[in-house]
Amino acid sequence: MVPSVISSEKFCQCNCPVCLTDRHEPECHVKGFSIVRCTNCKMVYVNPRLNDVVIREIYRKNYFIKKDYSFNDFGYGNYDLTAHLRDKTFNRWYAAFAPFLMTHRGKAMDVGCATGRFLNILKNKGWEANGIELDVDRYNALLAKKFRVKNIPIEDYDRNEQYELITLFDVIEHITHLDACFKKLNLMLSDKGSIVMVTPNIESFQKKLFGKKWFQFKPWEHISYFSPKTVHRLAERFGFKIIYLSECGQYADMSFVHHRLLRYGFNRTATLLKMFLSMPGIKDKAWYVGTGSMLIVMQKKSL
């Protein structure tokens, strides 16, 4: 378990993850972390951030399941508590990006595949589903389900295989070395392949509305905050073109909202909300909510 108080030697200074310059100006302070904006390309990122060793430890164990809500700086209380909502969300995302794929069959890689919800969807749609997951318990559970998964960072992925689809849902904001990641993605992607990403948008309405209280500000783990402009610039650097970019969200219901209120420490509001959960037709009603994220499809520029 990563301690809630971290000594200064656990931090590191870093350059802009997009243009690599070291020129930046303060953006805001959140949960004891400095968030800065690159004066060259306008990328927003955490600096100084936790070092690679500490960040990797965050994802190694108990990232997706916590026994209580006493430590809320990273991870999930219970990832599969809302599995039915995740399935609805993933299916909606797939329907949105599918028209832009160059092929709808072949090898697919889901980076950060968690408990395998999207791997199941890929398999049901005819893809050969592969995954990468850093949480050891989730990785072992996926192996037991006969999925082809690896328990290594994508930068260290060494298989000499190419994929027609690579998905990174809520992943790139966590990546410590985007250069190494995108170089590897370029090698892994076939000439007829597509990369699909979902990541928070620092210029979204939700961020403007909530400011420093935007729930995507999780500087322990979310170390890069993209805008449409900066994600375009990152794609260009590594030989990709973005062919589709749109807002996206996720499905929620009252139980999900109640769980999130507890997760982020709004206990009094959660108690009030719980009174409505027993009302007929309320508990199981789900709706699609904008979360201030982007859905992005990119392919190789040479095509």
Domains annotated for the chain, with CATH where assigned, are: 62-300 (3.40.50.150)
pLDDT for position 271: 66
| Average pLDDT score over residue span 50-77 | 76
Report the distance separating Cα 284 and Cα 278, nearest Å.
10
Question: ω into residue 48 within 30 of 0, thus cis?
Answer: yes
- Beta strands 33-38 and 44-46 are antiparallel
Of residues 172 and 272, the one with the higher pLDDT is 172
The two counts, helices (H) then strands (E), for the chain are: 9, 13
Residue whose C-alpha is closest to residue 66's, from 74, 58, 77:
77
Cβ pair 142, 149 in contact under 8 A: yes
Is the predicted pLDDT of residue 303 greater than 60, yes or no? no
Q: How many other CB atoms are there within 10 angstroms of residue 78's CB atom?
A: 13
Q: What is the pTM of this model?
A: 0.89
- DSSP-based three-state secondary structure for 46: strand
Give percent above pLDDT 90 in the chain.
71
